[in-house]
Amino acid sequence: MNGNQNIINKILSDAEARCAEIKASAQAAADAAVKRAIAQTEQESKNADARIEKMREESLRNAMSAAQLNARKYALQQKQKIIASCYEKALQRMAESPADKRREFIAKIIGQYAEKGERVYICAADKDVVTQKFLDGFALDLTLGKKYLSAKGGVVLEGEGYDKDLTLEKLVDYVRGGTEAQVARVLFGE
């Protein structure tokens, strides 16, 4: 039996050696897989960190751009308010000018734009300045309207199917359209 036992021991010994070999190989493969997984995770972490940093920088750039745009918009709004205030003050000064200056101004408007037979509407502030007698002086058969305008000054000339709005508000608005850029240059050096 010794021979049989030796064979069995040899088989068991070979099996244990083979088992140890397989176990060592499996452990080496597992260790390599763990190393690869760790390396891959570290690389992915670095890539994620780089992407996060890039996104953070982009977010900062976007926030800066938005802030700069908002600042420019705010500055533009303030400049527009200042310009509007200038035209409003000009309108107010014209409306508050002495009666003789308003009469002269209205006479120029009527002389330039009135046509025969039109009805002339004025604002209440000009009722002592523009009378029917004043209109008769133009020899255009103009009639003074019975209603007052809700304007600060100027006139509205009404004919058959049309009217010409020559109120101070409309005239200043018209002038503003052609001079606003120039006013901005004078005020802001732009």
- The per-residue pLDDT for range 42-60, each reduced to its tens digit, is 999 899 888 999 999 999 9
pTM for the model: 0.64
Fold entry, domain 98-188: hypothetical protein PF0899 fold (3.30.2320)
Give pLDDT, residue 3.
77
Give pLDDT, residue 169.
94
| pLDDT band, very low/low/confident/very high, at 13 (cuts 50, 70, 90) | confident
Structure-model confidence comparison of residues 26 and 159, the more confident one: 159
Which residue do the tokens 């305008």 mark?
Answer: 149
Give pLDDT, residue 1.
58
Residue 180 has pLDDT above 90, yes or no: no
SS3 (DSSP) at 149: strand
Q: CA dist 13 to 18, 23, 25, 26, 80, Å?
A: 8, 15, 18, 19, 98
Looking at the chain, the whole-number percentage of residues with pLDDT higher than 90 is 62
